[in-house]
Amino acid sequence: MRWSPTSFMQWGLGLGVAMVIALTIALTSVAEAQWLPAFGRSRIGTAGFQFLKIQPDARSAAMAGNAINLVNEPGVMFWNPAGLVHGADRPWAGQVNHLSYWSGIRMQSAALARRMGSGDVMAFGLRHLQTGAMPVTTEFQPMGTGQTFNATNTSLGLAYARPLTDRFALGLSLNWIYEQMPDWRVHNATVDMGFRYDIGWREMRLAVGINHFGMNVTPQGRLLRPSLLRTDTLGTFESLAPPTVLRLGLSGLVYREGEHKIDGVVQLNHPTDQAESLGAAMEYSYRDLMFVRGGYEHQPGVGQWPSWGLGWSLPRAFGNLRLDYAFAGRQGLGPVHRLGVMVAWGSVND
């Protein structure tokens, strides 16, 4: 790479913007969102909107969520919006994923990305989790009252990513989150942001991402609590904070010979409502047509199984089609399967 005054100024601008963003987040979160609400103590149960922690796409799930560096399809907006810059060179790309969760819970995610001629990328994303009908039970009718209820969780996001230089990219995503139960509902607005920096040696890449950053909100509604002699009505709820998490990742080329390639990534996760975790993953590719992935996230007391998955890329006349599968699970809960489809289309010169 040849440095010029212009490129040096662009690099300096990108680094400065990243430092300002990081400093602003740190100061604001300490003052408003309590970045370390229980430093030195357990932080479990201190945040709401827990469905945001579910890995929405098959490729990242196969790598145990170590996704802020390697993943670059439209669904990367859920992890690190800056990764949209490194996606397919087609003007359009779309991705859908389906998750079969425990207890019959289902989750779908979709993302659509539009690449402009300048290299900037806009993307729209959707995550939707539904439980299906569940029986209503009480202390006096533990087998069910004959009634059923549903829980709904939805997230809509709009992302923008821009390459400031040929090595440095920034991304930002604005999200609207909604949760609904039969007796109450709550919604919130959050921000995801991140950057990626190509170091320039063995395809090494440094990435930092902050997800689900927002303010505390209070649910609205009323909850009926039956007791032996009467039924109490609760109309006041405690405020909920989004499950903000800071992720730092470093990826690079582990092995390459001919048409065989292995990429590796190490990622540190610092959530506001759980203990910190450390993850690692690898992705093997053959001619960029077949993929084998595996990863593990170490978090004390969680009982996470190693994750693995497969991918197949199918070049077509209109662009490219890729199919992904992921297997993951936790002790005592069983396996979880994910399926994903990604399509990139349009003329490269559009």
Q: Residues 127-141: what's their mean pLDDT? A: 84
| Inter-residue contact 290 to 302 (CB < 8 Å) | no
Q: What's the CA gap between 350 and 289, in Å, rounded?
A: 25
What does the pLDDT read at residue 350? 59
As given in the structure block, the two tokens for residue 186 are 């709550």
Confidence label for 153 from pLDDT (cuts 50, 70 and 90): very high
As given in the structure block, the two tokens for residue 90 are 């087609």
What does the pLDDT read at residue 301? 65
Confidence label for 24 from pLDDT (cuts 50, 70 and 90): very low
Window from 36-45, 289-298, 307-316 with minimum mean pLDDT: 36-45
Mean pLDDT across the chain:
85
Enumerate residues 6+ apart whose C-beta is below 8 A from 240: 47, 48, 49, 186, 188, 216, 217, 218, 219
Does the pLDDT at position 39 exceed 60?
Answer: no
Q: Model-level pTM?
A: 0.83
Confidence label for 47 from pLDDT (cuts 50, 70 and 90): confident
- Burial of 328 from C-beta contacts in 10 A (0-12 / 13-18 / 19+): buried
Highest mean pLDDT among 4-8, 32-36, 322-326, 343-347: 322-326
As given in the structure block, the two tokens for residue 54 are 């579910």
What does the pLDDT read at residue 76? 95
Q: What's the CA gap between 307 and 329, in Å, rounded?
A: 7
Domains along the chain? 5-213+242-345 (2.40.160.40)
SS3 of the chain: helix, strand, coil, percent, to 5: 15, 50, 35
As given in the structure block, the two tokens for residue 137 are 């039970």
Window from 34-43, 167-176, 282-291 with minimum mean pLDDT: 34-43
Which of 334, 318, 317, 336 shows the shortest CA–CA distance to 326?
336
Does the pLDDT at position 18 exceed 90?
Answer: no
Does the pLDDT at position 120 exceed 90?
Answer: yes
What does the pLDDT read at residue 302? 65
Q: Residues 102-124: what's their mean pLDDT? A: 91
Q: What's the CA gap between 154 and 149, in Å, rounded?
A: 17
